[in-house]
Amino acid sequence: MTAAVDPRLEQLLLDHADEMLLLVAPDTLEIRAANRIARDRLGYPSGGLVGKKITEIESALADVFFWQDVSQGAAGDIDESESLYRRSDGGLLAVARTVRRISADGRDWLILRVRDIRREKEVAADLAQLASQLQATLEATVDGILVVAPDNRIVNMNRRFAEMWGLPENLRFRGDDSQVYDFLAGKLRDPTGYGSRMEDIGSHPDADSFDMLELSDGRVFERKSRPQYLHDQIVGRVFSFHDITERVAGERALIQARDHAEMANRAKSEFLAMMSHEIRTPMNGILGMSELLLDTPLNAEQREFTGVLKSSAEALLSIINDILDYSKIEARKLAVDRADFNLHALLEDFADLYGIRAAEKHLELTWQMDPEVPALLRGDPGRLRQILVNLVGNAIKFTERGGIDLHVELIDAWDGEVQLRFVVVDSGIGIPEGALERIFDPFEQADGTTTRRYGGTGLGLAISRSLTELMGGQIGASSVEGNGAKFWFTATLERQPPSARELPLPGEERLARLAGTRILVVDDRQANRDMLERQLAAWGFRPAVAADAETGFAMLKQAAADGEPYRVALIDKLMPGVDGETLGKWVRATPELIGTALVLATSAGERGEAHRLAEGGFGAYLPKPVKRSLLLDCLLTVLDQDPQERHADHAIITQHSLADARRGNTHLLLVEDNPVNSQVALAMLGQLGYTRVDVAENGRQALDAVGRLVYDLILMDCQMPVMDGYEATRAMRQAGCTTPIVALTANAMVGDREKCLAAGMDDYIAKPVKARTLADTLEHWLGSGAKPDDELPLDVPAAAADEAFDRVMLLENLGGDEALVAEILRIYVATAPGYMASLRAAIAAADAPAARSAAHSLKGASANAGARLLSATAKQAELAAGGGDLAAAAALLPAVEEHWRAFLRAADLPGA
C-alpha cells in the first residue's frame, strides 16, 4: 500500500519468469497477452502471438473438448494437465499447463501457466525404456529370478520363476508375500526346513547362498542367491533358481551305467578265467593220458592210434589257446609277464625245434642275433616265443622251397630298456598286395582258399599284433606275391640289472689267442653270410665271405698266395652250381691250401655222411642252423688240431664228437651207497659218454670229495647211511659249493621234490633211473650239447610189473651188456640177503626206522637188478614200517622170502 509498485520491475519479473504465461479471453479464445518466454518459446519473438486463437496453439486432442467447453461457458480450471503446444514453425512442444479463470475489472480472463516438460518426458521415457529393458533381461534368462527386499518382501520376479514353481496367477499379481512363500514351501518335499533356511540366509545379508531344493514332484532345483548392492549398501537379495532335475537324473544314470559296466567287466574276467581253466583241464587230461598211454605196452597199431590222438589233442589245444587269447584281447584282459630270461637261449631253443620242422619240408632255417642285442632281458619270453612261433610257423607253412631267416637287431637303447626288431623273411608264396592290410585282422587270411589249403584259425597274426602292442611295439609285413614275404615286429624290453651276468661260453677265453685269424665263409644265401661274418668278427676273427664256390676258391688261393691264408673255410653244402662238397675236393686237391681246415655246414644231414666227408677232407661237419656254442667249439677244436694230423686220422669232427668230447671231459660225482645202484648208474653214464665219474658211498665222503675237487655235476642219492643226501647237500651249499646237484630219489611223491629243492638241490631224477631222463637232465645242467643221439638207448616199454625177474629190462637198462648184467646180479645176490636179514632183525627188535631203512635198501637194489616182484613187496614193507605198523611189516616177511626164491629160480641162480 505505501510502497509504489514499479511496473517496470513487475515487467522484469514477468519477462524473466521461467514459466510461459498467457492471458486468454474466454469468449473469443484469443490470446491477449503473453510474457517474453512464451513469445520466445512459441516462436513469436517479435510479436504475432498476441491475437492468435489459443486453439491454434493448443494441439492435444483433449484440448479440442476443453476449449469447446470453455467457449460454452464452462469454468475451465485445470491443474497441470499435459498438452502439446504448436510453435510458429509447426513444431510441437510438450508442456504441462494450468488454467485459472479470474475476474478483473468486471471481465473474466483465463490465465495459463505453461511449463516445458520435454526434459521430464525424456527422462520418463528413458526410465520406461530402462525398466522394460530390465524386465526383458529378467524374462530372457533361463533361470527363475526372485528379487526380495532386506525384509524378505518380494520386489520382483520373472515369468520363469512363476512357471517353474507353478505359481497361480492370482498369487503372481495380487497375492501377498506370505501366501507366495507358503505356496513355495508347499511344493517342497520337506517344507519344514524352508522357513528356517530363509531366516538363516536373511541373517547373513552379505553372504552368497547355495542350496539344492527337492520338490515333492521329483524335480530338483539349484538355488543360489547374492546380495544386491547399491552404493555399497545392501538393498536386497536376488535368488536364482535353476532346474537341474535332468542333470541330476543324468548323473544318476551315469553312475548306474558305470556300475553296470564294472559288473559286466568283472563278470567277463571271471568267465574268461573260468573258461580257461574249464577248457584246459580236460585238454590236459586228454594230452596227459595219451602220453601216459604211450608209456604203457601197446602194439604198433595202438601206438599209431595213440600218436594220432596225442597230436590231434595238441593241435586242438593250440587252437583253443588261440581262441582264448583272442577272447582275452577282445576283453582287454591280455597282459604280458615280466620275468628274467635269456633271449639268446630262447632263440637257440626255438631255432632247434623249428629247424627240424623246416628241414622236414627241405627248407633252411637260419637265424642271427646281432651282437649289440643284449641277451639278458626282462619281459615275457613266453609271449615273445608265441609271436615267433606264429611268424616262423607261418613262414614254414607258406614256403615250398628256399629258406626262412630270422634276424634280431637293436634299434634303440636307453636307460634300462632296449627296443628290438625281429624280422622273419621267407621265400614262400608271398601275399597279394590287397591282402597285406587285412592279414592282421582277426579271422582274415590272405584269401579263403588259404584256409582250406594251409589250415589255421586266422587268429595268429591278430594275436601277435596285440601282443606286440602290449610289448610297446608294432608289427608289419611286406611282400610281393610269388616272391616271399617279410614279417617284422618291434618290442621294448627291459635289460636285466647288471648283477645278472651271462655265463661265459666255455672256451671263449681261448679266443683271445686266436684273434685276427682269417676265416672264409662260403654260402649262397646272403643272410647266412652276414650272420656268420658278424659273429666271427665279434669273436675277434677276421672273416671274409664268398657267395659261390668259384669265388671262394679264388679267394682261398689268393690269400694263400698273399701269405695270409684262411685257416678255416666254413662252407655251405647245398649251393646252386658247385656245391660245398665239390669245393672241398678242390681245396684238398690244392697243396697250397693244406693249412685251410674245411668245415661243412648243412641243413639236411644224412646218415653215414660223416664218414664220406671225412674221406673228402672235411675236418668238421655241422648242422644248420649252427648253434653259436657249437660253432665256437668246432672252430677252436679245428684250429687246435695240427693240420697234418687232421688229415691222417680221418676222424671228422661232428656235433656229436664235439659233444662227446665235452662230455668226456665232464667230471661227475656219484653219491650212492647201494653197490647195485651205483653199478647200474655208472654203466648208464658210461653209455652216455660220461666217463669221468667219481663215486662216494655216503654224504660224508661226498663232502670230502667236493672239498678236494671241483665237479661239473653231482648225482646224489637221498637215502644213505651216515649222512643222507639232503644233509650233504645242505652242507655243501653252506660251504659255498655251486655245483649243480641232481637228486636220485626212489620216493617220487609230491613233497619230495620240494624237499630236495629246499635242501639246495637243483633237480631230481626218480628211481628207477631211465637212461633218457638221465641224458636229458645232464645235458640241461651241463650246457648245450648235441641233439639227443638216435643211438642212445631208447626206453623200452616195461613188461609186466610183477615179474619175479625181468631180464629184458635189466639188459636194456645196461645197454645190452651181458657181462655187466652178470656182474650186477653177482653183486645183488651178495648183498640182498643181508638187507633181508636186517629187516627181520629190525622187526623182531620192534625197530621201525631200522626196518624201514632195510626195506628201502632191499627195494632199490631189487628194482635195479630186475627183481621187480621182490622190489614191490619190499616197498610195501617199507611203507608199513615207515608208518610204524611193524605187524604189517612182519606179515610181509613170508612174501619177501617167497619172492626172493622166485627171483633166484627165474634168474637161474643157485640158492632158490
Partner 1 sequence: MAEQEHWITPDQLQVGIYVYLDLGWMDHPFSFNSFKIKSDDQIRTIRSLNLKRMRWDPARSDVQPGSPAPAATAAQAPAAAAAAPDPTEDAAAKAAEVASIEAARAAKQARAERLRQNREQMAKVQQAFASASATVRAINKNIFAQSKQTIEQSEQLILQMVSTFLAAPEVAIQVMTEKPGGEEIYLHAINVTVLAMMVGRELGLSPAEMNLLGLGCLFHDIGLTEVPSKILLKSEPMTKAERDFYEMHCTYGRDIAKRVGLTPAVQNIIYQHHEHQDGSGFPQHLKGEAVDPLARIVVVANYYDSLCNPPNAANALTPHEALSLMFAQQRSRFDAKVLQILIRCLGVFPPGTVVRLSNDILGLVISINAARPLKPNVIIYDPEVPKHEAIIVDLQEENDISISQAIRPAQLPRPVFDYLSPRKRISYYFDADAGKQTQAA
What are the residues binding partner 1 (CB under 8 A)?
59-62, 64-65, 68, 84, 86, 90, 92, 132, 154-157, 169-170, 173-174, 176-177
- Minimum Å gap between C-beta 187 and partner 1 is 20
CA–CA gap between residue 850 and residue 845 (Å, rounded): 9
- Minimum Å gap between C-beta 197 and partner 1 is 22
- Rank residues 121 and 385 by Cβ distance to partner 1 and give the closer one: 121
- Rank residues 149 and 336 by Cβ distance to partner 1 and give the closer one: 149
Amino acid identity, residue 740?
Answer: P
DSSP state of 749: S
Amino acid identity, residue 174?
Answer: R
Q: Which three cell numbers stand for residue 836?
A: 633181508
Amino acid identity, residue 708?
Answer: R
- Rank residues 150 and 402 by Cβ distance to partner 1 and give the closer one: 150
- Minimum Å gap between C-beta 163 and partner 1 is 12
- Rank residues 56 and 592 by Cβ distance to partner 1 and give the closer one: 56
Q: Which three cell numbers stand for residue 461?
A: 597274426
Place of cell 632296449: 418
- Rank residues 148 and 858 by Cβ distance to partner 1 and give the closer one: 148
Q: In what order do the strands lie in the sheet with 518-522?
A: 542-546, 518-522, 568-572, 597-602, 620-623, 653-654
CA–CA gap between residue 628 and residue 531 (Å, rounded): 11
CA–CA gap between residue 871 and residue 755 (Å, rounded): 24
- Rank residues 116 and 177 by Cβ distance to partner 1 and give the closer one: 177
Q: Which three cell numbers stand for residue 305?
A: 592210434
Helices (H) and strands (E) in the chain, counts: 34, 28
- Rank residues 86 and 224 by Cβ distance to partner 1 and give the closer one: 86
Q: Phi and psi at residue 80, in whole multiples of 5°?
A: 45, 60
- For residues 512 and 346, the answer to whether their CB atoms sit within 8 Å is no
- Minimum Å gap between C-beta 67 and partner 1 is 11
- Rank residues 236 and 623 by Cβ distance to partner 1 and give the closer one: 236
In DSSP terms, 764 is beta-bridged to: 743
- Rank residues 172 and 332 by Cβ distance to partner 1 and give the closer one: 172
Please provide the distance, in angstroms rounded to a whole number, between the alpha carbons at the two ends of the chain. 183
CA–CA gap between residue 679 and residue 743 (Å, rounded): 17
- Minimum Å gap between C-beta 192 and partner 1 is 27
Q: Which three cell numbers stand for residue 299?
A: 602194439
CA–CA gap between residue 277 and residue 507 (Å, rounded): 46
- Minimum Å gap between C-beta 98 and partner 1 is 17
Task: Count other C-beta atoms under 10 Å from residue 189's C-beta.
Answer: 13
- Minimum Å gap between C-beta 118 and partner 1 is 15
- Rank residues 84 and 336 by Cβ distance to partner 1 and give the closer one: 84
* Residues belonging to the chain: 912
- Minimum Å gap between C-beta 131 and partner 1 is 11
* Short-list 509, 507, 588, 615, CA closest to 569: 588
- For residues 486 and 479, the answer to whether their CB atoms sit within 8 Å is yes
- Minimum Å gap between C-beta 265 and partner 1 is 54
* Short-list 500, 522, 538, CA closest to 632: 538
For residue 680, give the H/E element and its range. helix 675-688
- Rank residues 153 and 510 by Cβ distance to partner 1 and give the closer one: 153
- Minimum Å gap between C-beta 121 and partner 1 is 12
- Minimum Å gap between C-beta 115 and partner 1 is 18
* Short-list 711, 694, 726, CA closest to 782: 711
